[in-house]
Amino acid sequence: MRIKALKELYSEREIDATVRRLAAMINADYAGREVLILCVLKGAFMFFSDLLKHLDFGPKIDFLRVSSYGDGQSSSGEVKLELGQEHCLKGRDILVVEDIVDSGRSMDVLKKRLLALDVKTLRIAALVDKLERREVDVTVDYAGFSVPSGFIVGYGLDYAERFRELPALYTVEFED
Ligand code: IMP
Ligand code: MG
């Protein structure tokens, strides 16, 4: 689909305040614990790096990839997961950092896969929670913005690999 315009949804300032709010909650919950934070590539990379700067409990980090989207706007239903070093996750406190939880399918697959590896605890932080679009039951433990609908880009999030570099969040307006 062709793009008509991008409309700013959340500014850099609003994002910064939200990232700090989530970091404060995460710091309070994980104080004194040994935590492995998993960044879901590619969409979460900017949120992840900003969030990390405000965490004070010395987490370890790793990256993984979950892909369910092609160039379209809705989930293909098939979820691919690439995760290295699986043996290291056993018995650990894991925090997954994701860009958006939409239908919930990607996170559902990831959660099941991680829980099968006998992780100790598993929580999810997501910059955007599209609660009303949920098709499977997935709870976001640390949700930045709750957005009902619309396709969002910027701050790491893409449409067909574009707009990841933008520092704010935008809603895409498509041509009819
Ligand atoms: P789900 O499996 O339907 O929950 O899809 C989640 C994934 O789809 C997210 O990790 C994003 O990569 C992508 N996605 C869903 N909605 C959007 C959006 O509005 N903008 C950009 N990517 C999105
Ligand atoms: Mg994603």
Q: For residue 33, what are its two tokens? A: 């614990």
Per residue in 98-132, pLDDT tens? Answer: 999 999 999 998 999 899 989 999 999 999 999 98
Pocket test for ligand 1, best of 38, 42, 99, 101 (most atoms within 8 A of CB): 99
pLDDT, tens only, 158-175: 999 999 999 999 999 999
Q: One of 102, 118, 141, 158 is an active-site residue; which one?
A: 102
CA distances from 64 to 41, 44, 80, 105, 106 (A): 6, 10, 11, 16, 12
- Residue ranges with CB less than 5 Å from ion ligand 2: 43, 99
Instruction: Respond yes or no: is residue 102 known to be catalytic.
Output: yes
Structure tokens at 36: 């492995």
pLDDT single digits (tens) 43-98: 999 999 999 999 999 999 999 988 765 555 555 555 666 676 655 788 999 999 99
Find the angle CA(35)-CA(36)-CA(42) to the nearest 5 degrees: 140
Coarse DSSP helix, strand, coil percentages of the chain, rounded to the nearest 5 percent: 25, 35, 40
